[in-house]
Structure 1
Amino acid sequence: MDDTYLVEIRLARTRWQIKETTRAITQKSGAERYRERHPHVTLYGPFTLKDPTRVQFLLDTIGTIAGSIGAVPFTLDGWERRDGMHGGVVAFSVSPSPALVRLSATLARALSCFTISLNAWDLRPDEKWFHVTIANRLPPGKAEEIVSGLTAPGYDASGSPATGPNTAGLRTRLLALAERMGVIHQRRNVPIRPVLLDDAGLRITVMHKDMILGEYDLLRQQWLAHEEIHNPRSWQQSLALYRRSAGFELSAPVAHEPGEIFLIADLHLGHANIIRYCSRPFVHSDVAEMDRVLIANWNYRVAPRNPVFFLGDLRYGGDARPDAEYRVLLNGRITFVAGNHDKNTRDTVPSALLACDGQEFLLVHDPANAPAGFSGWVIHGHHHNNDLRAFPFIDFAGKKINVSAEVIGYSPVSLQEICRIIRERTPGSEEPLLLRYPYVQ
């Protein structure tokens, strides 16, 4: 094998979900041997060094460029196929932020002075193909076959067994129990639809052949010791810095008008697997950290006298604390709308109606439960960030508003803010607003 190097960003929040989706696609299509095991976005390379002794200079150059960048946002948006250097490629498409484009181009200009790139895109950084590989080195026709299958109507690569509701429920409970006991590592059946997920590069990884040569933390602005690279505590530090820089973790009360009405859904407190299923910016092994941040965000955003409408699924799972223990920790005069995972529904309502700016809003957990003849706006949760094309933050055409925690940045959003966005949108425009927080649109 050539003495090659590669500079990349490995996925952070979406890593588990993309790996599971990749596994499902390649297994279903018979392309498992071509599967990419470590999903990443290539920044530069593969390449060789003109002078093999300049390894430290390589790292120093990358560190200098990365030293003041911070997290680098991008969006995973569907999939595509292309012809690669060694055969067909099927990949998740990446919509890069300007920061990602600048980082890649800057690296290409600096590194090309003392490296020999084996990637034609490095010679044309303005035309670079940003992607996350699903499978590569595919034989002729295989990439086209995979993508044709993925785009076929009704395609489902989840591999879900056909079972009745009682059997499926028992099977799910037994698998969950075995996973908690450490007997098995459960692989969730992932339904395959074109992905639309936001992520951000938190670290730059430099590969030498198949080994990690070094990893630079963009939030801490330093090269990591080798033992830190895969350490969950180290990732906790990186993710905490990222949450604060992105506004996902508040550190002080947020000023607002006394009469503001707040909304949020789907906290899923106590539910570790929601971190993976919905790409939340936390370490899967520490659900207590997620609970702490979500509760603090709520209380920084909401004053004790503010009206709050919580649209279902406060907690979930056998390891979660009782519903009442979470409720007393939350500020506001709260109306609880029942969610499909809520056990105690004595103090909940099935739906609620609000008015703002002459508009009528129906509040319900699952938008499918809205009356067919309702002509106002439906504010809902239930779908999290799992289908942003159908259930974005604001769907102007369908008059739906998704306030699941992941979609609105992990803290409640005010009804007045929603009304302002509706009021100020470009006249005649029905382009959806995918996420409340500023990301690649």
Structure 2
Amino acid sequence: MDDTYLVEIRLARTRWRVKETSRAIARTYGAERYRERHPHVTLYGPFTLEDPAQVQSLLDTIRAGAGTIGAVPFMLGGWERLDGMHGGVVAFSVCPSPALVRLTATLARALSCFTVSLNAWDLRPDEKWFHVTIANRLPPGKSEEIISGLTSPEHDAPSHPAAGPVTPGLVARLLSLVQRAGLPGRHHKALIRPILLDDAGLRITVLHNEEILGEYDLLRQQWLTREEIHNPRSWQQSMALYRRSAGFELSAPVVHGQDGIFLIADLHLGHANIIRYCSRPFVSSDVAEMDRVLIANWNYQVAPADRVFFLGDLRYGRDARPEAEYRALLNGNITFVAGNHDGTLRNTVPSARLSCDGQEFLLVHDPADAPATFSGWVVHGHHHNNDLRVFPFIDFTQKRINVGAEVIGYSPVSLEEICRIIREQKPGSEKTRLLRYPYEQ
């Protein structure tokens, strides 16, 4: 068999969530042997080189094609299937940003000059199927069975977690217990819910016969050494560069009017696992870095005289610092609305009310606690970015606003900005999923 190559982008922030969800799907539907072990978005290939000596030309062409593009955002959401000559494929849908579309087309044009692609999509990059494979080479009928199960009506029911984010890891463990107990499939297949998350390609990985040939860092604009590819510290540096370029890590005070009112929820300071559960742009091995950035972002956004309404879940976990230490580090005149993880937090209130621009706002941690008779806007946290279809940044139909840290870009949002967005709502828009993200569908 000829040597084969593949150019891909491996998942960054969402890798853990996607792997856990894929594992749960494979176990539930008996497709473990077909599961994709390294979630990625294919840019080009698989392919062979017309001349085996053109490996350096391959790397040089990829570097030239990447140029100064930086991180390439995309959105993961929903399920798709395709039956091909090598069997069925079940995948996460990918909605690409214009940057990802351009990068793929540029590489396809340049690499086709001296490669032989084995992927029909490379011949028509403008029609490319962007996806992240869950399982492939499935036997006849299997992909249809999986998609039918995943898209059954039970999966469309809104989720209302009562105690913080529902994690795919927990789902996988529950599924395993259910399966070992021998309970009928109809009782556990509904536990797997589709994800809707943004991510961004930070590195281009080139595979040669399933081994990494090279990895190009899109933010540093250089090929990494073999040591850097596998070094967690190097990945931490790539993630930091991404945060700064995307605006998730502020470096200077944000200028705004005097005596502003700001809102944010669900910092989860000291909580390492929240990095994986909610696909935060940090590495889970260094929760101190997450704390440092979140606190700095708060203080760059909020002046000492500003009012802040924090809507619950300040800290979490046995390794978190005492609440008094965290409070002392945060700017502003802060009102703490109690969250479900704030059992020991002192001087909290169950809810608060604000008025702005002729609108009434009720501030709570869990939107389920809002009275059904309240006709204004419910501002909340609690759901993080775990169900953006039901709890986006702004749901204009339900009049709900999710100010969870992940949803608003990891720094407090002003009430004035929220009012402006409501005031400028475009006709026909029902939901605004994320705030301050480099790419929002």
Question: Please, what TM-score do these two structures have when normalized by structure 1?
Answer: 0.92
Change (3 A) 1:162 1:109: closer
Q: Secondary structure at the match of 2:135?
A: strand
Q: Which residue of 2 aligns with 1:295?
A: 295
Distance 1:226 1:161 in 2: 38
Q: Which residue of 2 aligns with 1:87?
A: 87
Q: Which residue of 2 aligns with 1:254?
A: 254
Distance 2:200 2:85 in 1: 27
Cα deviation code 1:283-318 (max 9, x no counterpart): 110000000000000000000010000000000001
Amino acid in structure 2 at the alignment position of 1:95: C
Change (3 A) 1:105 1:161: closer
Is the contact between residue 96 and residue 440 of structure 1 (CA under 8 Å) also seen in structure 2? no
Is the contact between residue 84 and residue 136 of structure 1 (CA under 8 Å) also seen in structure 2? no
Q: Which residue of 1 aligns with 2:102?
A: 102
Q: Secondary structure at the match of 2:134?
A: strand
Q: Which residue of 1 aligns with 2:235?
A: 235
Distance 2:175 2:208 in 1: 41
Distance 1:84 1:222 in 2: 36
Is the contact between residue 312 and residue 339 of structure 1 (CA under 8 Å) also seen in structure 2? yes
Change (3 A) 1:136 1:379: same
Q: Which residue of 1 aligns with 2:431?
A: 432
Distance 1:39 1:411 in 2: 29
Distance 1:281 1:96 in 2: 19
Q: Secondary structure at the match of 1:154?
A: helix
Distance 1:222 1:431 in 2: 41
Distance 1:2 1:128 in 2: 25
Matches within 5 A, 1:117-196: 117-154=117-154, 158-160=172-174, 191-196=191-196
Q: Which residue of 2 aligns with 1:277?
A: 277
Distance 1:340 1:310 in 2: 13
Distance 1:5 1:440 in 2: 32
Amino acid in structure 2 at the alignment position of 1:22: S
CA RMSD in angstroms comes to 1.6
Distance 2:250 2:359 in 1: 30
Q: Secondary structure at the match of 2:431?
A: coil
* Alpha-carbon shift at residue 232 of structure 1 (Å): 1.1
Cα deviation code 1:354-389 (max 9, x no counterpart): 000111000000000001111000000000000000
Is the contact between residue 28 and residue 175 of structure 2 (CA under 8 Å) also seen in structure 1? no
Distance 1:196 1:154 in 2: 17
Distance 1:192 1:29 in 2: 11
Cα deviation code 1:395-437 (max 9, x no counterpart): 000000000000000000000000000001124x342000002
Q: Which residue of 1 aligns with 2:357?
A: 357
Matches within 5 A, 1:358-397: 358-397=358-397
Question: In the alignment, is residue 286 of structure 1 matched against residue 286 of structure 2?
Answer: yes
Amino acid in structure 2 at the alignment position of 1:273: N
Amino acid in structure 2 at the alignment position of 1:207: L
Q: Which residue of 1 aligns with 2:116?
A: 116
Question: Please, what TM-score do these two structures have when normalized by structure 2?
Answer: 0.92
Distance 2:273 2:229 in 1: 22
Cα deviation code 1:8-41 (max 9, x no counterpart): 0000000000000000000110000000000000
Q: Which residue of 2 aligns with 1:179?
A: none
Amino acid in structure 1 at the alignment position of 2:389: R
Is the contact between residue 78 and residue 195 of structure 2 (CA under 8 Å) also seen in structure 1? yes
Q: Secondary structure at the match of 2:52?
A: coil
Question: In the alignment, is residue 27 of structure 1 matched against residue 27 of structure 2?
Answer: yes
Distance 2:138 2:120 in 1: 19
* Alpha-carbon shift at residue 67 of structure 1 (Å): 2.8
Is the contact between residue 67 and residue 222 of structure 1 (CA under 8 Å) also seen in structure 2? no
Equivalenced residues, count: 415
Cα deviation code 1:172-193 (max 9, x no counterpart): xxxxxxxxxxxxxxxxxx9521
Amino acid in structure 2 at the alignment position of 1:360: E
* Alpha-carbon shift at residue 159 of structure 1 (Å): 4.8
Is the contact between residue 23 and residue 172 of structure 2 (CA under 8 Å) also seen in structure 1? no
Is the contact between residue 397 and residue 430 of structure 1 (CA under 8 Å) also seen in structure 2? no
Q: Secondary structure at the match of 1:326?
A: helix
* Alpha-carbon shift at residue 77 of structure 1 (Å): 1.3
Matches within 5 A, 1:316-335: 316-335=316-335
* Alpha-carbon shift at residue 2 of structure 1 (Å): 3.1
Is the contact between residue 337 and residue 364 of structure 2 (CA under 8 Å) also seen in structure 1? yes
Consecutive unaligned residues in structure 1, runs of 5 or more: 164-189
Q: Which residue of 2 aligns with 1:76?
A: 76
Amino acid in structure 1 at the alignment position of 2:368: A
Distance 1:139 1:249 in 2: 46
Q: Which residue of 2 aligns with 1:203?
A: 203
Greater than 6 Å deviation, 4+ residue runs:
none
Amino acid in structure 2 at the alignment position of 1:292: R
Is the contact between residue 378 and residue 400 of structure 2 (CA under 8 Å) also seen in structure 1? yes
Further displaced range: 125-134 or 78-87: 78-87
Q: Secondary structure at the match of 1:45?
A: strand
Distance 1:283 1:25 in 2: 25
Q: Secondary structure at the match of 1:409?
A: coil
Amino acid in structure 2 at the alignment position of 1:3: D
Amino acid in structure 2 at the alignment position of 1:230: H
Is the contact between residue 434 and residue 440 of structure 2 (CA under 8 Å) also seen in structure 1? no
Distance 2:29 2:323 in 1: 43
Consecutive unaligned residues in structure 2, runs of 5 or more: 156-167, 178-189
Q: Secondary structure at the match of 1:160?
A: helix
Distance 2:175 2:236 in 1: 36
* Alpha-carbon shift at residue 346 of structure 1 (Å): 3.1
The share of aligned pairs that are identical, in percent, is 80
Amino acid in structure 2 at the alignment position of 1:396: F
Is the contact between residue 7 and residue 205 of structure 1 (CA under 8 Å) also seen in structure 2? yes
Cα deviation code 1:82-136 (max 9, x no counterpart): 0134110000000000000000000000000000000000000100000000000
Q: Secondary structure at the match of 1:280?
A: coil
Distance 2:114 2:414 in 1: 53
Distance 1:34 1:72 in 2: 28
